[in-house]
Structure 1
Amino acid sequence: MQTRECCAGFYGAQCEPCPQVAGNICFGNGICLDGINGTGFCECEVGFKGLACDSCIDGKYGINCDQDCVCIHGKCSSGIKGDGSCECDVGWRGVKCDTEIKDDSCNNTCHTSAKYVRHQTS
């Protein structure tokens, strides 16, 4: 009697290939649940997510997904190709988007999309 098995990196009754990116099973950032009884699911290493462990978890960036985003009031350039830089929300500035931009001419009562017009007095 023969027992059917799948080669490493293949799973299920049909021995389908595990998820991969650029020839790396689980993008090289996890292990595939392979074998005849396997699901083909990638169990990702810490910091990674995605079908093939090809993305960083939220709030992380860098090739190893081990760098923390530090943007306080803005959007971080996250992910494997991200550099951690911040794109600040309206009204904020600074490396971490942690410095509020104040416009004293409006006495801080202007709506964020409003334009202040100074009226001349004679």
Structure 2
Amino acid sequence: MFTELKSQLNDLAPQTLQQLLLDKSIRQTNDGYIQFPGQSLQTQFQETMNFLKSPDTLSLNWDDVCILGQTIDGDYLAGDQNETTFFIPSSLLADDTEIHQMSVIDALIALESGNLDSHIISKFN
């Protein structure tokens, strides 16, 4: 699914992918593992980050990061303009957050094809 979507993107920005998912009414991966609720997830993430705020949780300014998806386990999928993808655990623990130097669409393609290992986000189909 994501290989086909990549060919329809004008750029690799996560916001562009988010808009394409909305335009095509794609709200989840084929197996339902990752949900793509749209812009409302950004607000939910900020509220959760404020609620769980502690020295161990994420405290960076996440305004420049697009929170794109959430797994059924509550973990987050995010990306920035520098083609960096973040897999953020539902606990928001900074030390457990995985950072991958690739665009979100490329990370999704790698997960979908089984070519990216993560302790946070499982491979899906």
What is the TM-score when the length of structure 1 is the normalising length? 0.22
Q: Which has the higher strand share?
A: 1
Structure showing the higher helix proportion among its residues: 2
Larger Rg: 1
- TM-score, normalised on structure 2? 0.22
